[in-house]
Each structure stands twice: as structure tokens, then as C-alpha cells.
Amino acid sequence: MPRFILLALLLALTPVTLLFAQRVEPAFWWVGLKDPHLQVLIHEKNIGDTQPRLSYPGVTMTKVSRVKSPNYLFIDLVIGPGAKPGTFPIQFLRNGRPAQTVVYELKARKANSAQRQGYTAADVMYLITPDRFANGNPANDNAADLADKASRTGRDTRHGGDIQGIINHLDYLQDMGITALWVNPLVENNMPSGSYHGYASTDFYRIDPRFGSNTDYLTLSQAASQRGIKLIIDLIMNHCGSSHWWMNDLPTDDWLNEQKKPRITHHARESIQDPYASDYDRRLHADGWFVPTMPDLNQRNPLLATYLIQNTIWWVEYADLHGIRMDTYPYPDKDFMTQWSKRLMQEYPNLNMVGEEWSLNPAIVAFWQKGKQNRNGYVSYMPGMFDFPLQNALVESLNEDDRQYNRGLVKLYQTLAQDFLYERPQNLVTFPDNHDMSRFYTQIHEDFALWQMGMIHLLTTRGIPQLFYGTEVLMTNPKSDRHDEIRGEMPGGWPDHTASAFTGQGLTEQQVAARAFLRKLLRWRRTNEAVQTGQLKHFAARDGLYVYVRYTNTQKVLVVMNKLPETTTLDTARYGEVLAGHTTARNVLTGQTQPLSQPLSIAGKSAVIFELR
């Protein structure tokens, strides 16, 4: 008898008053995962008084956990190798009699799901704040059951950008040369106000209806994949929003850190590595709340830890993702982050993930990367981290006077020279700015020549480059460094815009030049193995000149950055070790080729990329 007919008969013969619990999380799962264990959270009034029962080939119920709140039940299952995709009932008995039934589904995984290839140094990542990128569906700007309403004129308000707006402009991103897409969190943020950014989750399994639906997110992933663009999810393990659905009925007394009397963290992240740190500092950093509206989750609670790990796997599997960006990486319990990263890499060994540790000290950032041998014994499985030290060095090197001692381009050289601290520096994500800091063009005082130099360095140095939306059209935040202004509307994302980054209409001459310049660089980078995966060799910066090469056995790229106002001639004798064996240098941006028997001239305040042949 077909399984769905058997299930229908079973349900018809079962005297239940309620077929579906208020919440079942995760709502479904998959067969064939490497770790067969599954924890199902049931939230329903007085569900803790019941005894679950199920019978499905290959599925075994191993444990039932009841907690302080009678409205929760945690069911541990083992999905054995013999389990097949399908649905089955979980009956809940009260006093030996059926009280209600939940129908659970096990799905088949996509082909080669476990071996999915994550983003690599061959990719260029594009960061989007969805509420401010493009409004593809004005009908979902507001949702009746969600508090924060759209208002494009208010401060820290929702503007209406959504998933459909991103889908509508995937062709633009593909044409620009973008190959990976990091989107700020899209899950529900049902907060009273200021929720557009997505970092105060109120439902970990639901896309915020003002962005679209879970199905829309899956559509985005599929549409991006068809264009050779990998999708990266933005996750938060450290906290949720104060309006999260469980806040009115917390399962246990330790579901949150500082649950009874919360304190705010003092952000002393160095206390994790500090051999002299006090217990007070370590506890307050890890257990203090980020802000009062973001309750700090206690990942030391094993039920919550499993919940968070499963939620991550659920999104990767459901939406066919290629990467994860982890918010506030050093704030959750560090041992949990080891557990989380290890489990993800076990399930998806080729997936890539990047953590946010906003420190300018390479030693602090390196502590968190997989393979690092830390003196305190801490082990991480996180493949990559954001390179905040190099971002800071880039801005300072461009803004400072190179004629002064130890200032200017020398800071790029000095920062990259500390790569010995990292286990895999090539897997760091490099960037000129992001959604939490002033726009790069603002940081360098809207100097177009410096912007071009910055883009050239970003796209030719080691690492995985990331661009913030609107960088290609010189978006700025001249009035303030408030997040609301930094995350301005992408030109062309709303019908009333007079200029469009997507079509070029209404852009200034300089914006048009910037977009064309970056497009040419991005598209060239897609074809050059040396800047994607090649080794790096650089020369100590001096006299406003910084020279480095990226090279493989078959390709070599020479990059020269000249900060001084006057044209300089490259001293070929000094750089002979990288020029030897090559006879010509082709300027990537102009296409001009010249013999290396003649001096290479570099215009003042510029950077030049040469392909050596």
C-alpha cells in the first residue's frame, strides 16, 4: 500500500483533537546526513504532559526531554541508514490515550549535497543589505502581523527592499563579474522598530515576509546558481531579538545568559586569548547581552546548542547554500563555536565559512581560524575570518603621507608581512568596507584616484575579496557614520530614483567611470588564475612605492602602487627576481604591451597591473 494512503488511514482512525502543534522545529529533515541524530522541538500548550510515540522504518526515538516550561518537548531521533524519504505520524499520548498527532517529513537530499563547493579565492563576494538594495515587490513592504512598518523618510526604518529586488538584478551582478552573494540576515525580525538590518531574529526558520518567503529565498538561490553566483547566508549564534517567539515562554532557566538580571557586554574580546584575563572579564564579555533588545543565547545549554546547529544545517540543505557568514564570532561560547564549526565541516567538507572578529590585531583574528595551534589549546574548525587588520591598513595607507616615516603604503606591507600568524591567509575575506562602517569612498575623502588604487589592491592581493553594494558607483555617507546612512538605497532600486547603478541612467561621469573600471577589473580577475589562487611575493614599501607579484607556474602578475604625485620609473634591478625570464609587460587596464628592456613608468597616484610574459 502506498505510504501516503497508509498515513491517511492512520490519521483518520486516530481520535485526536489537534493534528499540528503550534511549532515543530525543524519542520522537516533529510535522510542521508552524516550525523544521523535529530532533535525535534515541539511547542504547544502542555505538550510536556504527553508521551510521544512513532513507528517508521529506520527511525528510532532515543530520548524525550521535558523542561521547566510544560509547553515544550524535545524529541531525540536517530535517522538510520535504512530510513527512506517520506512522512510519518508522531502521536502524543496523554494518560495513555492519543491527544494529538504531528505529521513529520523526511526529505531526499539533492545529488552531491554533501560535496557542495563553497566560495573560494577565485570568487568575488558582493554584500547586500536587502532592505536598501531594490524593491522588487512593493506589495510586501508591510505585513499585518509584523510591527515595524515601512517608511523611507524615517530614521532606521524599513525602505521596502526585498528578495525579489535582488533576483531582478542578478543579471547585472553577473555582468559585473560577481560570483558570490552575501546577503544580510533575511529571517523574521518582528521587532517594534529598527529591524530592517535583520540582526534581531524572532524566528530562526522563517524568512521575514517583508523580504518574501522561504520559497522566494530558494528561488534566489536557484536563480543565482544558474548565473554562476554562490549564495552565502548571514547567521547569528550569539543572540536573538527580544521579541523572539520563545521570549514569552522560555524553555529553561538557562536558555539565555544573565537570564534573570541581564548585563551588557563590555566587548573585551581579547579576554578570550588573554593569559592574564580575570574571570569577571571573560564572563561579562561572553555572557553579557549585546544590547538590551538582543538577548544573549546560552549555547552551553545542550538543547539550545543542538537547536542552533540544526538550524544552520537546515538552511544550507534547504536553500542549497555555498557559504556562511557568522556574525559576532567571538561573542558566543567559544567551545560551542568549535562544536558548531566542526559539525558543519563534517557535513559539508567543501563548504566555506567566514567569521566576524572586528579586531585590528592579526594575532586575535588568527586565533579563530581552523588549523591554528593556539597556546591555550583552543581548537577551531572555522575555515576563514574577515581580514579587519588589512582593511584598516588599506585605508590608512591610502590616506597617510608616504613621505613621513612608517606611514602610507608601508602599512600594507607590514600588515601582510604578519600573515605568518594565519594558518590559511589565502582564505581570509578582504574588503574595503562593509555594512557596519563608513563607505570606502567616504573613508578616503572621496578621492577617485585613491579609490582606484584601493580597488586594484583588493582584487589582486591574497584572499577572497568582498565588495559592499554601491561601491561600484561611489556610494558615500558624507553626513554621518550612522548605519542608516551607510546603508543607503542603491541607485535605481526604487521607481522614483533619478539615477540607476543598474542601467547607468542619470549617473555622474565619475560614477560611470567607476562602474566601468570595476567591471573591467572584476571580469579580468575571473580569467586570471594567478590573482585567484597564486602565491604572493612583495617588496618592502618605500618612497611611496609598493610592488608585489601574484604567480603560479604558468602566470605572473606584477602590481605597482605609486602614492607620490609624480611619475616614477621602476628600478628593474631591484625587482629582477620576479622579472627574470619575462620579456614583456601587458597593462591589464589599457591593453598596452611594452618590452621589459625599457623602464616601466608608473604615473603619480596610481596603481598598475601588468601581466608578465
Catalytic residue set: 327, 356
Q: Is 76 strand, coil or helix? A: strand
Give 115-146 as a 3 state SS string: HCCCCCCCCCEEEECHHHCCCCCHHHCCCCCC
Q: Is 577 exposed, middle or buried (0-12, 13-18, 19+ CB in 10 A)?
A: exposed
The span from the first CA to the last CA of the chain, in angstroms, equals 70
CB 586 within 8 A of CB 579: no
496 Cβ contact list (under 8 Å, min separation 6): none
**Can you give the C-alpha Rg of the chain in angstroms?**
26
**How many Å apart are CA 433 and CA 523, to the nearest integer?**
21
**How many Å apart are CA 323 and CA 267, to the nearest integer?**
27
Q: How many CA atoms lie within 13 A of 436 on its CB side?
A: 11
CA distances from residue 219 to 167, 223, 231 in whole angstroms, order as listed: 8, 6, 11
Number of C-beta neighbours around residue 439 at 10 A = 24
Q: How many CA atoms lie within 13 A of 539 on its CB side?
A: 22
**How many Å apart are CA 285 and CA 469, to the nearest integer?**
32
**How many Å apart are CA 124 and CA 606, to the nearest integer?**
22
Q: Is 577 strand, coil or helix? A: helix
To which residue does cell 521607481 refer? 495
The type of residue at 262 is: P
**How many Å apart are CA 27 and CA 49, to the nearest integer?**
21
**How many Å apart are CA 287 and CA 274, to the nearest integer?**
17
b/e map 448-466, b = 16+ CB within 10 Å = ebbbbbbbbbbbbbbbbbb
Q: Is 485 strand, coil or helix? A: helix
What region does 115 belong to: left with phi over 0, alpha with psi -120 to 50, or beta? alpha
Cell output for 120: 573560494
